[in-house]
């Protein structure tokens, strides 16, 4: 194994009802846990999303309403998922922009306080796009010399993602092998939240990335316009974004 792990790395992939982080739901999740000694374990859960799966999504991943009607809800499997990923770092393919934010939403919705600061995030897609801009199937062919069968099944994608990530570390001498450095390398835009609504200025203060206060310090805005905080909490922002807004608002009182 080319990766140098000092704690477990959980590579995971989601199949979902759609791509809206705030509204869509998980229908399948697979987690591959790779330990520092290179031993591995993987688990896959089918999930009843408690909403109809749009046909256009089913046509991509092959999971239909009938397939998950008897499956547990995400709230029922959430403790098992957290048990598996706790104490680990997280990785995936396009995971920083989609899988991690959507997983955080589902966990918060299930009443589990997901804390991003406890995890280092590594996105194999970012390495791939920086080195060989393609998709997962092309990455699997390029780095591993294999054809990706059953693409868009969570298990096939997550297994291929780990092989791609490990092969990338072996191929490029200028890419770090440890997770903290890889996390830094694969993070394209540093934001305070997962969906990118809250960024940082040169002083590392949280600033708005949108709206009438775009570019302004969130804490300062809340101190002068508390009503805007109320509007944000009632608007359709992801739960994790609202959590960060709340944390900043509480600190703005002092």
Run of H or E residues at 186: helix 179-186
> Where are the alpha helices (H) located in 32-173, listed in sequence order?
55-61, 65-68, 74-85, 100-109, 124-131, 136-144, 154-171
pLDDT at 11 > cutoff 80:
yes
Question: What would the pLDDT profile of 92-122 be if each residue is shown by its tens digit?
Answer: 999 999 999 999 999 999 999 999 899 999 9
Residue 151: pLDDT band (50, 70, 90) is confident
Mean pLDDT score, 232-251: 95
pLDDT at site 176:
93
- Long-range Cβ contact pairs of 69-75 (< 8 A, separation 24 or more): 71/45, 71/46, 71/47, 72/45, 72/47, 72/48, 73/47, 73/48, 74/25, 74/26, 74/47, 74/49, 74/106, 74/109, 74/110, 75/109, 75/110, 75/111
Q: What is the mean pLDDT of residues 192-218?
A: 94
**pTM over 0.95, yes/no:** no
| pLDDT, tens only, 46-91 | 999 999 999 999 999 999 999 999 999 999 999 999 999 999 999 9
pLDDT for the residue numbered 133 = 64
Structure tokens at 146: 């294999």
Structure token pair of residue 26: 């998980």
Structure tokens at 58: 């089913």
The values of phi and psi at residue 225, to 5°, are -140, 75
């Amino acid at each position: 194994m080319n990766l140098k792990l000092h704690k477990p790395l959980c590579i995971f992939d989601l199949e979902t009802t759609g791509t809206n982080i705030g509204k869509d739901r998980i229908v399948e999740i697979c987690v591959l846990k790779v330990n520092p000694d290179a031993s591995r374990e993987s688990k896959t859960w089918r999930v009843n999303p408690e909403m109809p799966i749009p046909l256009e999504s089913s046509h991509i991943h092959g999971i239909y309403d009938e397939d998950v009607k008897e499956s547990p809800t995400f709230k029922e499997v959430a403790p098992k998922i957290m048990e598996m990923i706790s104490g680990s770092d997280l990785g995936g393919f396009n995971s920083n922009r989609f899988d991690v934010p959507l997983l955080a939403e589902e966990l918060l919705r299930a009443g589990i306080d997901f804390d991003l600061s406890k995890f280092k995030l590594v996105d194999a897609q970012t390495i791939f796009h920086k080195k060989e801009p393609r998709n997962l199937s092309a990455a699997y062919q390029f780095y591993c010399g294999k054809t990706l069968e059953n693409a868009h099944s969570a298990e096939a994608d997550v297994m291929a993602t780990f092989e791609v990530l490990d092969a990338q570390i072996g191929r490029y001498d200028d890419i770090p092998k440890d997770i903290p450095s890889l996390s830094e390398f694969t993070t394209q835009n540093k934001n305070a939240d997962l969906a990118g609504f809250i960024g940082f200025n040169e002083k590392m203060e949280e600033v708005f990335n949108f709206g009438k206060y775009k570019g302004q310090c969130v804490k300062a805005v809340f101190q002068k316009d508390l009503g805007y905080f109320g509007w944000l909490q009632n608007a359709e922002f992801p739960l994790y974004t609202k959590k960060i807004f709340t944390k900043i608002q509480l600190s703005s009182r002092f």
